[in-house]
Amino acid sequence: MDGSSTASAYASEEVDVVEPTVNFVIQNVNDAEHRLLDDVWRLVKQNALDSNFNGLDWDAIRSNAMREPLSNREATYNAARKMLRLLDDRYTRFLTPDAFAKMAKFDITGTGILLMPDPVTKNLVVASPPRKGSAAELANLRRGDLVIEIDGQSTAGLTPLEVSAQLTGEEGTTLRLRVSHGVEDEGKEVELVRHFVVTNPVSEAYVTAEGIGYIRLTEFNADCSNAVRRAVQNLVAQGANSFVLDMRGNPGGVLEGAIEIGGLFLPHGSVVAHIVDGHGDQETFYAMPSEIAATIADDPVAVVTNAMSASSSEVLAGALRDNCRARTVGRTSFGKGIIQGVFGLSDGSGVVLTVAKYQTPNHHEIQGKGIAPDIPLRVPSGWRSFNPRRVEVDVLRAQLKTCADTERDAEDSDSSMARLKTASKLNDAEFVSDYNARANFDQAQNGDNTMPSITSASLLLFF
């Protein structure tokens, strides 16, 4: 049954069914099957990007769902699928425990746990049962455990991105957590050895005779930032003085990966992306500190894309382009500017839900548009090799200089306009009219850095 027919079925029920009493709803929710289905409903209610729920009364959907007889777990799963199809979103879906386990390649900790702040208490909690056979399961961690410290540092007040940075590490390294089973429990320290269930996302990395460092990045999995960091370090050691980052056919992956890789090329504090959730709240993500970024600051970068470069690929390409750090080469990218969150449920199943959209540092929308190349170039299909010598480094360097000079002039103009306002004593309405041409630049420099609700709900975001 497709989304429209399912929606019609629910709609027909809504016409004739009287709203249930409170006692009836409580009785159903206390049943294990209906409780699990209610968890799915609440995830959508609290986190969906589409706050209009495809034009449906989401509270009425819950009432109808609580009336459905659910005789076993498979019936509950089918009801969850039926509910999610009402949103008519091709990317939102239900995951069985087996399917959820395959999300391990997006486990940025390498320890088998998904951590997220509790939406009420803001405490960092284990959000779903640890992956079978993982270090977290062997350490007897369980869903709902509170994570008090990460490597000796308190988790209180940390943003999701700061938590992500604390959790990230290389294969085989140890992650130390202080974990408690409740607020009153002081907790115990556990040591988890990182093991990533992933393939190396950097399929090729070499230096040409001309000094071009070529990196082929195939996906944004849990180890992508480590893999690119290692590749850049090795290429620099081999004499690379420019870089071609090939993301043809890269479908995306974890958002954190794009943010962290951006920090390998951008100065600390550069805007990488803006994320907007279903409540209209915006969070601006910034490049984290990196010694590599300073080492290669003068080395020009080209990002190669094609029509199958999507999501996190577009986040990274847009970040490097808007910051005048790279030029995009090839074909217009896919145009997937929405973000899905992975949410674990109590029995090991899960939900993939569209939770937000993103914009490039200069507030360009990507959804349905993609990123057009600065240097159009016919490129082979993603599975075929690309010759990095086709990127003319001198042209690349000149374009990047022009971009930087233009941005510098814009900053000077920004300062001049501010002084002009003071000198001429224009009122705010007059000044806004005169200053309108600079609005986008001002937003990019001074984006709201408050936490939106969605990043408070899920640390593991992927596209």
From the candidates 311, 333, 349, 458, give the one annotated as an active-site residue.
311
| DSSP labels, 63-117 | HHHHHS---SHHHHHHHHHHHHHTT--TT-EEE-HHHHHGGGGG-TTSSS--EEE
Q: Is 377 exposed, middle or buried (0-12, 13-18, 19+ CB in 10 A)?
A: middle
The whole-angstrom separation of Cα 42 and Cα 17 is 21
| Spatial separation of the C-alpha atoms in residues 136 and 110, rounded to whole Å | 9
Query: Which residue, chain included where needed, has tokens 């079978």?
Result: 132
Any catalytic annotation for residue 311?
yes
C-alpha distances in Å from residue 356, one per residue of 263, 271, 397: 22, 18, 35
Active site residue 424: no
45 is catalytic: no
Q: How is residue 307 written in tokens?
A: 């029509």
Q: Exactly one of 82, 105, 336, 357 is catalytic; which is it?
A: 336
Look-up: residue for tokens 């009785």?
27
Q: Which two tokens stand for residue 421?
A: 């306002």
Tokens of 12: 């027909």
- Token digits for 127? 């959000």
Residue of 145, 322, 333, 458 marked catalytic:
322
Enumerate the H helices of 242-355 as residue ranges.
255-265, 291-295, 312-322
What's 319-342 look like in SS3? HHHHCCCEEEEECCCCCCCEEEEE
State the angle between helix axes of 3-16 and 58-67 in degrees (0 to 180), rounded to the nearest 10: 80
Catalytic residues: 311, 322, 336
